[in-house]
Chains A and B, each alone.
Chain A
Amino acid sequence: MSSTARLSMRGIDKSFGGVPVLSNVELTLEAGEVVALLGSNGAGKSTLVKILTGLYSRDAGIVEVDGQAVVFGKPADAIAAGVKLLPQEISVMPDLSVGENILLGDLPMKPGFGFKQVDYKTIHIRATELLAQLGFEALDTHQDVKRLSVAEQRIVEIARAIAGQARILIMDEPTAALTEQEAELLFAIIRRLKQQRVSVVYISHYMSEVFEISDRIVVLRDGRNAGDFVTRDTNKAAVLAAMIGATAGDLYPTEPPPPPGTDVLKVEGFGVRGKIADVSFAVRSGEILGIFGLVGSGVEVLGRALYGAVHSERSGQVTLDGRPYRPSTPQHGKEAGIGFVAAERKKEGIIADLTVRENIALPFQNRFTRGLFVSTEAETGHAQNWIRDLGIRTRGPEQKLRTLSGGNQQKVCLARWLVEGVKLLILEEPTRGVDIGARREIYGKLRELTAKGYAVIILSSDVEEVAGISDRSLVLDRGRVVEEFSRGVTPAALMAATAETQTA
């Protein structure tokens, strides 16, 4: 074998039901190298990872680890070969100790009382050694994992992978639940892993992270290799161009905002007990108001409280179109003319087993009801309109929503509210887990909607998104508004506004 790469995947083909998902895909990884795997949703990233981790079998192609050809028939085969996936959702046993979690795969045993029993002393010694390799010998291995922060749980998970002799770590959106500082911690760990010759496949939607941590960037598009960049010799524009193809353009709409109209929603001294205090702002028709905050800042509560989906005690004055507005259920918000898209699309947004048509028509069933019965034709017509208008990629209105990509599911969630009478859209994390092509389309559509008179509030922990799309933006920190910016604010300024109060 001439190749001595840690991992070499060549000519990988995979199709589902005759539809090719991967064709002739290649991915190589040197020892101690961090390769970022990028691509829109549906580009084939997750299929490639599933082949690498033994969840799917490949139709054709070669996979070699350290020059040895391998076939992973099941996930255990991949783990035995040193390939370990850290999924987006952290998977730890909350009621076991740190030490037990780390050595779960191979608990040290000792003889005693005539049978083998778990050797707790060795567990804690070895777990501490492994944590020391990552620079976290200070973490108490005796405490229960449920007492740890999300970031510390991530560390435990990584230590467990190292304990299992993992030489190739696949990290899928590892910073999804982490704060900025915690993410820095993770990057420090990844750098230590590199020193120990562990290779990392890093999957993320955040371009800035990718440029901070990776050595090389591999881009997939439509199931094929679309670019292979050495990180320090390239730039975001080049990578973005490879991801979205020939029609690369700016992610955010460039047309100027329409002249703002009258106040749609006015909030004065608004508070949610224990979460938010003394928040005041107004949003006008034709305007996109961005509200930026990190997790825990109140950004995950404010939007739903204004929609009526929060039970906690609220205070302050809210007026909608000049009339007092005190919603206590989502029905109130909906009837008052507010549309709401929740952050957690799978848990709170889509109804996976219903069709695209049923999902779109669901909130306003009365409008499709003729006499006693719902008119499927009316629903279909309405759904088809928005499938066309929003560019929802689906075989048709009768396709189950579960089979659509994240970006297209998000468009369906948005389409639900595009009916007469809705004048304000409250969108939480509108492009979380949405590929770059669909993101651009969603942003463009929001701009178009404001031109028609909609007011839009975006609540997001994605600083680039708030900076890019907002006509005006607020920064939320510890439940209070700490700064207000006008259009054209930089991501750095938004981030600085939260950092200031956190160090103060």
Chain B
Amino acid sequence: MATTTETAAAAPSLKRRFMELLAKPWSGVAMLLVFYLILIAVFSILSPFFFNTRNMLQIGLNVAYIGLMAAAGTPLIIAGGLDLSVAAIAGLTGVMISLLVGLGVPVWVAVGLALALAAAIGVANGLFTTRLKLNPLITTLGMMSIVSGIALVLTGGLTRPLMIPGFNWIGNERVFSIPIPLIIMVVTFFALWLVMTKTKFGRFIYAAGGNAEASRLIGIPVERTVIVLYVISALAGAVAGTILGAMLGAAGPNAAGSQLLTVIAAIILGGTSLNGGRGSVWGTLLAVLILGTLNNGLTLLNVSSFWQDVTRGVVLMLAVSLDQLRNRALGE
């Protein structure tokens, strides 16, 4: 009888220790950092072209427009929202700029108009999900279909040229040898970090996502907070579309569509809870870099890009599993 009690006590200790580790607030970011460093080490060993300043900056440039969308999506998911239309907005933005310039509108005015349209789409997303209490997944999925459909109608499905004097520098120039898109992305992450952790609005984001009803009952403008975040996400989509168009010198109606999954994967992998209330932009940034590094490294190793879709899916599902485990750990 004594032996049975002893085994009962000893068995769960390893699992429990792992769960306790998961419940720590920094565990997510720490694990990502370790994973990132391992990834860099492995690719450095496997490919002589991987570890150098040029390639590292190239990874940064490749992920800049994705990171921008993921950065803005992070506070939105923390507050309990979700934006699946963001990548479609990026596509429509490039198309809008190209068409408006074709009509004789000055390019930066065209960019401004495209941003305004994005903001309106964000407001619509926000109003539908808060005032009408529609499910954000369905609402923004519908919006994604509408927006990318409009972009296809406007272009007839064709990619339009976007080589405009005084415009393409925003995608191609460098400042102190750092690509401008990368700078824009890093500044966005930093600004969002400031807003989320240092301001009243930031407190509202975490409160609304942590417990919307409790927040409403202490007089926090939950709906307004969420609507503003949808607008920020849509604007990030528009800026991403602008940068991508400038980089490529072309605007495809579905230029960024394939990256929607990467954006969502990065946010979840970064430790932001799909249930809302928890997460940080630094986790998202690390996750964006990890996904970009994976892509880059696999390309250097001559792995087919089709396999890269598989890797991204696996990483996403691992991230969601980890999120679920962490929820359970916090519940105990």
Interface size for B (C-beta < 8 A) is 32
- In whole angstroms, what is the CA distance A274 to B30 when docked? 54
Tell me whether A353 and B210 are in contact (CB under 8 A): yes
Chain A residues within 8 Å of B217, by CB: 304, 309, 330, 340, 342, 348-349
> Would you call B9 an interface residue if the criterion is a C-beta within 8 Å of the partner chain's C-beta atoms?
yes
Cβ contact within 8 Å between A366 and B200? yes
B211 interface neighbour in A333, A335, A351, A369, Cβ under 8 Å:
A351
Would A58 and B9 count as touching, CB distance under 8 A?
yes
Q: Are A374 and B9 in contact (CB under 8 A)?
A: no
Against B, the Cβ 8 Å flags (1 = close, 0 = not) of A51-75 are: 0000001111110000001010100
In the bound complex, CA of A59 to CA of B10 (Å): 8
A329 to B220, CA, bound (A): 10
Query: What secondary structure prevails in chain A residues at the interface with B?
Result: mixed
> Which residues of A have CB within 8 Å of B309?
none
Mask, B1-13, CB within 8 Å of A = 1, is: 1001101110110
B214 within 8 A of A: yes
* CB closest residue in chain A, given B209: A353
B203 at the interface (CB under 8 A from A): yes
A402 contacts across to B, CB distance below 8 A: 330
Name which of A187-195, A260-268, A357-365, A385-393 contacts chain B.
Answer: A357-365
Q: A58-B5, A71-B5 are in contact. Are A374 and B211 (CB under 8 A)?
A: no
Chain B residues with CB under 8 A of A58: 5, 8-9
- Chain A residues with CB under 8 A of B48: none
Q: Which residues of B contact A365 (CB under 8 A)?
A: 200, 203-204
A224 at the interface (CB under 8 A from B): no
Q: Distance in Å from the Cβ of A5 to the closest Cβ of chain B?
A: 16
CB atoms of A333 and B4 under 8 A apart: no
In chain B, what residue has the closest Cβ to A11? Answer: B5
Does B199 count as interface, using CB distance less than 8 angstroms?
Answer: yes
Cα A350 to Cα B116 with chains together (Å): 38
B216 contacts which of A57, A59, A60, A330 (Cβ < 8 Å)? A330
A61 to B215, CA, bound (A): 44
Closest-by-CB residue of B relative to A57 is B8
Q: Is A395 an interface residue (CB 8 A)?
A: no
Q: Does B274 contact A (CB under 8 A)?
A: no
Contact call A374/B200, Cβ cutoff below 8 A: yes
> Hey, which chain B residues are within 8 Å of A246, CB to CB?
none
Contact residues, A20-68 vs B (CB, 8 A): 57-62
Smallest CB separation, B192 vs chain A (Å): 14
Are A57 and B219 in contact, CB atoms less than 8 angstroms apart? no
Q: Which residue of B lies closest to A372 (CB)?
A: B199
Asked whether B285 is an interface residue with its Cβ less than 8 Å from the other chain, the reply is no
Q: Is A113 close to B, CB under 8 A? A: no
Instruction: Pick from A17, A57, A61, A333: contact of B20, CB below 8 A.
Output: A17
The minimal Cβ–Cβ distance linking B14 to chain A, given in whole angstroms, is 13
Whole-angstrom distance between the Cβ of B66 and the nearest chain A Cβ: 27
- The answer to whether B175 has its CB under 8 Å from any CB of chain A is no
Q: What is the CA–CA distance of A58 and B12 in the complex, to the nearest angstrom?
A: 11
Contacting pair B9 A60 (CB below 8 A): yes
- Smallest Cβ-Cβ distance to A68: which chain B residue: B1
Residues of chain B within 8 A of A331, CB atoms compared: 219, 221
A330–B219 CB distance below 8 A:
yes
0 or 1 for each of B263-305: is its CB under 8 Å from A? (1 = yes): 0000000000000011000000000000000000000000000
Query: How many angstroms from the CA of A361 to the CA of B219 in the assembled complex?
Result: 12
The interface centre, meaning the residue of B5, B200, B219 with most chain A CB atoms within 10 A of its CB, is B219
B173 at the interface (CB under 8 A from A): no
Given contacts A57-B8, A57-B9, A351-B206, 19 further A-B contacts (CB under 8 A): A57-B12, A58-B8, A58-B9, A62-B5, A309-B216, A331-B219, A340-B217, A347-B213, A348-B217, A351-B214, A352-B210, A352-B211, A354-B207, A365-B203, A365-B204, A369-B199, A369-B200, A373-B198, A374-B200
What are 27 of the A-B contact pairs (CB < 8 Å)? A57-B11, A59-B9, A69-B4, A71-B4, A73-B8, A73-B11, A342-B217, A347-B214, A348-B217, A352-B211, A352-B277, A353-B277, A353-B278, A362-B203, A363-B219, A365-B200, A365-B204, A366-B200, A369-B200, A373-B194, A373-B198, A374-B198, A374-B199, A374-B200, A374-B202, A374-B203, A402-B330
Which residues of B are in contact with A by a Cβ distance under 8 Å?
Answer: 1, 4-5, 7-9, 11-12, 20, 194, 198-200, 202-204, 206-207, 210-211, 213-221, 277-278, 330
A-B complex: 4 closest residue pairs judged by Cβ atoms: A334-B219, A365-B200, A351-B210, A363-B218
